[in-house]
Structure 1
Amino acid sequence: MRKVLVVFAHAAPQRSRVNRRLRDAARGVPGVELVDLYESYPDFYIDVAAEQENLADAAALVLLHPIQWYGMPSLLKEWVDAVLTPGWAYGAGATALAGKRFWLAASTGSPAEAYAPDAAHGHPFAAFLPPYRQIAALCGMEWLAPHILHGAHHASEETLDAHIDTFVARLGALTSA
Structure 2
Amino acid sequence: MTITTEVDPPAAIYVIAAHPHWRDSRVNRCLLAAARSVGSVDVNDLYGSYPDYLVDVQAERARVARAQLLVLVHPIHWYTMPPLQKLWLDDVLGYGWAYGEGGTALQGKDCWLVATTGGPEASYHPQSYNRYFFDAFLPPYEQTAALCGMRFLPPMILHGARGASEAEVSAHVDAFTQRLASYPDWPEMDEIEACPTCIVPPRDRPADAAPPTTRKVA
Is TM > 0.5 for Structure 1 vs Structure 2?
Answer: yes
Letter in 2 for 1:5: Y
Unpaired segments of 5 or more residues in structure 1? none
Pick one of 168, 179, 183 that aligns with 1:170. 179
Which residue identity is paired with 2:32? R
- CA shift digits 1:46-77 (9 cap, x unpaired): 00000001101101100000000000000000
CA distance, structure 2, for counterparts of residue 152 and residue 78 of structure 1: 25
More helix by share: 1
Which of 91-100 and 66-75 deviates more? 91-100
Gaps of 5+ in 2: 1-9, 187-218
- Secondary structure in structure 1 of the residue aligned to 2:183: helix
Q: Which residue in 2 is equivalent to 1:37?
A: 46
What is the letter of the counterpart of residue 155 of structure 1?
A
Q: Secondary structure at the match of 2:176?
A: helix
**Matching of residue 7 in structure 1 with residue 16 in structure 2:** yes
Pairs within 5 Å for 1:123-134: 123-134=132-143
Q: Matched residues in 1 for 2:183 and 2:114: separation?
A: 13
Runs of 4+ in 1 over 3 A off after TM superposition: none
- Residue type at the aligned position of 1:153: R
Would you say 1:91 and 2:100 are equivalent positions?
A: yes
Match of 2:81, SS state, is coil
CA distance in 1, matches of 2:157, 2:168: 12
* Post-superposition offset of 1:17: 0.3
Q: CA deviation at 1:3?
A: 1.1
Tell me the CA shift for residue 175 of structure 1. 6.0
* Deviation for aligned residue 1:172: 1.1
Q: Which amino acid aligns with 1:146?
A: P
Change (3 A) 1:124 1:111: same
Identity of aligned residues (%): 52
Larger-gyration structure (1/2):
2
Contact 1:7 1:37 (8 Å CA) reproduced: yes
Kindly indicate whether structure 1 or structure 2 has the higher relative contact order, using CA contacts under 8 Å at least 6 residues apart.
1
Q: Do the aligned residues in 2 keep the contact of 1:63 with 1:105 (CA within 8 Å)? A: yes
TM-score, normalised by the number of residues in structure 1: 0.98
SS of equivalent to 2:162: helix
1:102-149 Cα offsets, whole Å, 9 max, x none, are 000000000000001111100000000011001110000011000000
Shift of 1:93: 1.8
Cα distance in 1 for partners of 2:177, 2:141 equals: 21
What CA RMSD, in Å, does the superposition of the two structures yield over aligned residues?
1.0
1:152 aligns with 2:169: no
